[in-house]
Amino acid sequence: MGNWGLRQGVAKGIHRDIHARSVVFEREGMSIAVISLEIAGLTSETVQAIKARIFQVAGIPADNVLLNFTHNHTSPDTIVSLPSEWMTWTTWLADQVAGCVFNAANQAVPVSVGSGLGSFDNWTVNRQYPEKPVDTELGVMKIDDDQGNTIAHLVNFACHGVADGGQYLEWSGDFAGEMSAEIEEQSTGTVALYIQGAAGDIHPFDWWFGNTASEHLHSHEDTRLLGKSLAEAALEVSGGIGNGSRDISLGVESAPLSLPRHQVNWSLESALENREKLRANLGSYSGETWLPGTTTANTAERHPELYGWGNNEVGLATKQSLPEAVLVVRGFRIGSTLISAHAGELFNEIGTVIKDAFPNDRPWVASYCDDYIGYISSRQPHEEIKDIPVTEIVDMKKYRRYYGTTTSPYAPEAGEALIETAINVLKNL
């Protein structure tokens, strides 16, 4: 199934269907498609194929498509590469997503749009620094037709899609799928899209790295509780929005950004030597599912043979001499709501700084957009581990908490450069 390294079994069923959901906005010749996919992510080639198909069937340019992934870990393993067994499926997926957008565009009706902000506190934690506050802001957009019936909700929140655990060999939509289903059940005739925020270092419940005493064990019940509670909080915000506006402006802006590579203090030769020693000492891992008592907070400590065998450090040493990575930072305006859209897994602090730059018109931050490019970490954890030698950084009892920083292909200043570019893009809207 993939996405959980410790779960190497093949899917044997479906707990909850995985969905593609879309809303299309049209005004004065401009269209914007917003899409929520309940999977972890896709490769660049597949994303390009989806957008090309959307343009072919719906006429919406690629730049006007906000394609967001919920980062659901109980979905096909297509995030960084495309295994041969998934090639046919991803071709089919492009047709399905384009068809979803086509249907949304062809069911367009006059609407009013309103938005509101709330909070969803005490459900998430910074997995690196559990004592730090996290962004619990809950953005909700409500779309009503001419008769006052709500036909769509968009919900923006930041939380890793890891509520369902690796003990299951069943596909599911994780908590985001549960949230959408609950809103759609309570608000008949509505489609509900979850837009994933800057959740790179944010886990559900109390799953900070190193916590061995959590009462939440990634059960379907945990997932249902989180998704249903988030839905209720979103509907409460929606209920306070009141009548929206019919005078909705649409806008799209973008700017290129170059991200410098993560530089390490070890050579490729020393990393390769260390990996060979670790592989000989630790052995290799195999297992269909998680063992009882496993959570995302304790997986690496329990299984250093999978998470601490030195392969990541070889990768960092190999890639540090590559040219800077070039990407596009994008911004959308839908009525009064600004959306800062990004590829990759943004750390929560990065998203918060972008929001704080607009205190009177706080934007949404949508991470996990388009193709997967890895983690973009804040500076503090980079500074704390920069001098740790290659033979020590693999100690999962000491350094697992820095996962996302240790695995980021980008330098400490990358996040700051992204923030500056994102703010400028939103100012142009």
**Confidence at residue 303, expressed as pLDDT on a 0 to 100 scale:** 96
**Confidence at residue 220, expressed as pLDDT on a 0 to 100 scale:** 97
Model confidence pTM above 0.95: yes
Q: Which two tokens stand for residue 262?
A: 């993560």
For residue range 27-54, list pLDDT tens digits in order: 999 999 999 999 999 999 999 999 999 9
* Residue 56 contacts residue 105 (beta carbons within 8 Å): no
Looking up tokens 């980021």 gives 408
Residue 198's pLDDT band (cuts 50, 70, 90): very high
Residue 82's pLDDT band (cuts 50, 70, 90): confident
**Confidence at residue 237, expressed as pLDDT on a 0 to 100 scale:** 98
* Bridge partners (DSSP) listed for residue 195: 156
DSSP string covering 38-98 = -SS---HHHHHHHHHHHHHHH---GGGEEEEE--BSSS-S-SS---GGGHHHHHHHHHHHH
DSSP state letter for 254: E
Answer yes or no: is pLDDT of 83 > 90: no
Q: Span 311-337, mean pLDDT?
A: 97
DSSP string covering 342-356 = -SSEE-HHHHHHHHH
For residue range 339-363, list pLDDT tens digits in order: 999 999 999 999 999 999 999 999 9
DSSP state letter for 163: S
Residue whose C-alpha is closest to residue 390's, from 291, 267, 212, 302:
267
CA distance 198 to 142: 22
* Residue 155 contacts residue 118 (beta carbons within 8 Å): no
Ramachandran area for residue 204 (φ above 0: left; ψ -120 to 50: alpha; else beta): beta
Looking up tokens 């490769």 gives 43
Helix (H, G, I), strand (E, B) or coil at 157: strand
Alpha-carbon torsion, ordered 422, 423, 428, 429, to 10 deg:
80
For residue range 353-398, list pLDDT tens digits in order: 999 999 999 999 999 999 999 999 999 999 999 999 999 999 999 9
For residue range 85-114, list pLDDT tens digits in order: 888 999 999 999 999 999 999 999 999 999
For residue range 212-253, list pLDDT tens digits in order: 999 999 999 999 999 999 999 999 999 999 999 999 999 999
Q: Span 57-78, mean pLDDT?
A: 97
The Cβ of residue 243 has, within 10 Å, a number of other Cβ atoms equal to 10
**Confidence at residue 373, expressed as pLDDT on a 0 to 100 scale:** 96
* Residue 346 contacts residue 198 (beta carbons within 8 Å): yes
Residues in the chain: 429
At residue 98's C-alpha, the angle toward residues 110 and 81, to 5°, is 140
Q: Span 45-69, mean pLDDT?
A: 97
Answer yes or no: is pLDDT of 1 > 90: no
Q: Which two tokens stand for residue 386?
A: 């920069």
CA distance 132 to 348: 11
